[in-house]
């Protein structure tokens, strides 16, 4: 019989929950309430309670460097010194698996690329809007006022939408300004 379980499955189902459980336990050991630990980890308070009681999270006793990395991350979470949680979790995972640091994710690079694309899109849309405004001004004032009315309507509509729905991405926000 062939074992179809991949290393990635093992990590997702066993190692990452064990790291999360160890972090939750470490945060509570360091004087944080279960609710605070849950907020720091971005999980439900019930999950923290289950991690502490051993009902949830594959129990792995981490040793050496891995244990130190978990303790350091817990303290940094308490001190609000964590700039990239994903990278820190990946470092712990790499340490626990005892492999070379070849698999540190491209998450920071991906974030940078996404931020650059958003900045480029904002810059392009801004330049397009400025060109469109200048063209409208050159054509006639009546057209410009109609454009200004459309622009303000669109801008206010999208501004209020983002205010009411804060999860809206910059790209969704900018889609309103597509040049027709």
∠83-8-109 over CA atoms, to 5°? 35
pLDDT, tens only, 57-110: 767 888 889 899 999 999 999 999 888 888 888 888 888 887 655 554 555 566
Taking residues 148-171, report their average pLDDT: 62
pLDDT at 55 over 70: yes
Residues with Cβ within 8 Å of residue 67, at least 6 apart in sequence: none
Is the distance from CB of 51 to CB of 57 less than 8 angstroms?
A: yes
Long-range Cβ pairs for the range 172-179 (8 Å, 24+): 174/121, 174/122, 174/125, 177/125, 177/128, 177/129, 179/128, 179/129, 179/132
Model confidence, pTM: 0.54
What are the sequence ranges of the domains in the chain?
A: 7-97, 107-175
Q: Are 24 and 52 in contact (CB under 8 A)?
A: yes
pLDDT at 71: 93
- 34, 45 Cβ separation under 8 angstroms: yes
Confidence band of 180 (pLDDT split at 50, 70, 90) = very low
| Interatomic CA distance for residues 88 and 73, integer angstroms | 7
H or E element in which residue 34 lies:
helix 34-41
Q: What confidence tier does 160 reach under pLDDT thresholds 50, 70, 90?
A: low
Is residue 148 scored above 90 in pLDDT? no
Distance (Å, whole) CA 116 – CA 124:
12
pLDDT at residue 39 is higher than 60: yes
pLDDT band for position 179 (cuts 50, 70, 90) = very low
- C-alpha 97/C-alpha 103 separation (Å) is 11
The string of pLDDT tens digits covering residues 97-139 is 876 555 545 555 666 666 677 777 777 777 777 777 777 667 7
């Amino acid at each position: 019989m062939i074992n179809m379980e991949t290393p990635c499955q093992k990590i997702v189902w066993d190692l990452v929950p064990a790291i999360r459980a160890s972090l939750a336990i470490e945060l509570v050991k360091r004087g944080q309430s279960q609710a605070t630990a849950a907020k720091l980890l971005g999980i439900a308070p019930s999950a923290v309670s289950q991690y502490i009681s051993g009902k949830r999270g594959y129990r792995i006793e981490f040793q050496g460097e891995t244990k130190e990395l978990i303790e350091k991350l817990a303290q940094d979470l308490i001190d609000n010194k964590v700039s990239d949680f994903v990278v820190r979790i990946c470092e712990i995972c790499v340490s626990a698996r005892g492999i070379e640091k070849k698999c540190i994710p491209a998450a920071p690079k991906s974030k940078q690329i996404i931020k650059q694309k958003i900045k480029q899109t904002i810059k392009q849309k801004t330049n397009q809007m400025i060109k469109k405004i200048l063209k409208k001004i050159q054509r006639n004032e009546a057209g410009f006022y109609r454009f200004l009315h459309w622009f303000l309507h669109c801008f206010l509509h999208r501004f209020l939408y983002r205010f009411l729905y804060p999860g809206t991405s910059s790209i969704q926000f900018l889609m309103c300004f597509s040049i027709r």
